[in-house]
Amino acid sequence: MLRLFIGIPMPEMVVERLSALASGLPGARWVPPENYHLTLRFVGEVDEGTAHDVDEALDYVTGPAFPVALSGLGCFGRGHRQHALWAGVAPADALHHLRDKVESALVRAGLPAEERKFSPHVTLAYLSDTPETRLATYMGANGLFQAGPFTVDRYCLYESVPGRSGPSYHILQEYPLGGWQPD
């Protein structure tokens, strides 16, 4: 079985900016910079045949390249149950449009529809028992983070491989954007 997701890698200049945020928060398990990405669609565990179908479906999903900027930091969870720290994405219709096309292609390929709302983000850390006061201080210093805009000219099929010090993400396939478009 393969654990798959579809995402957008971050360019080097954004990786550098994001990795500069990775300190000063007790209880944070920082995502290694090589793992930074924006998830378009989580697929989960599938067999090789389904992985092949997913790849084939994505081959038909294309569109223009588009700009994206990162804007602000946020957390999933509430109060002392905050569990993930992320960089948000400035509103970008083209990103939602691409995500919708990917979603339709996967459903056509036989995968169940995604029920969760798309909330684009780049996860920076997973938190456990981070004191609320420390998180508030960190957000006060870094919460208005901005990076980009950068051009999204491809998206990727990733495999998530579990490891002792957390998962590593491998790009299995890249799908270019901005090439020739049919009328």
Using an 8 Å Cβ cutoff, are 60 and 106 in contact?
no
Residue 41 CB, shortest distance to ligand 2AM, in Å, is 8
* Residue (64 or 174) nearer to ligand 2AM, CB: 174
* Region of 142 on the Ramachandran plot (φ > 0 left; ψ -120 to 50 alpha; else beta): alpha
Specify whether 80 is catalytic: no
* Residue (82 or 160) nearer to ligand 2AM, CB: 160
Residue 101 CB, shortest distance to ligand 2AM, in Å, is 18
* Residue (119 or 137) nearer to ligand 2AM, CB: 119
Rounded to whole angstroms, the Cα distance separating 15 from 20 reads: 9
Phi, psi (deg, nearest 5) at residue 138: -60, -45
Sequence-distant (6+) residues with CB within 8 A of 183 are: none
Specify whether 37 is catalytic: yes
Residue 126 CB, shortest distance to ligand 2AM, in Å, is 7
* Residue (114 or 153) nearer to ligand 2AM, CB: 114
Residue 88, CA distances (Å) to 22, 36, 99, 147, 169 in order: 15, 13, 16, 10, 21
Residue 160 CB, shortest distance to ligand 2AM, in Å, is 5
Which residues of the chain form contacts with ligand 2AM (CB under 6 A)? 5, 39, 42, 84, 123, 160
Tally: H helices and E strands in the chain? 4, 9
Catalytic residue among 52, 80, 121, 170: 121
Q: What is the DSSP letter of 31?
A: P
Using an 8 Å Cβ cutoff, are 105 and 56 in contact?
no
Active site residues: 37, 121
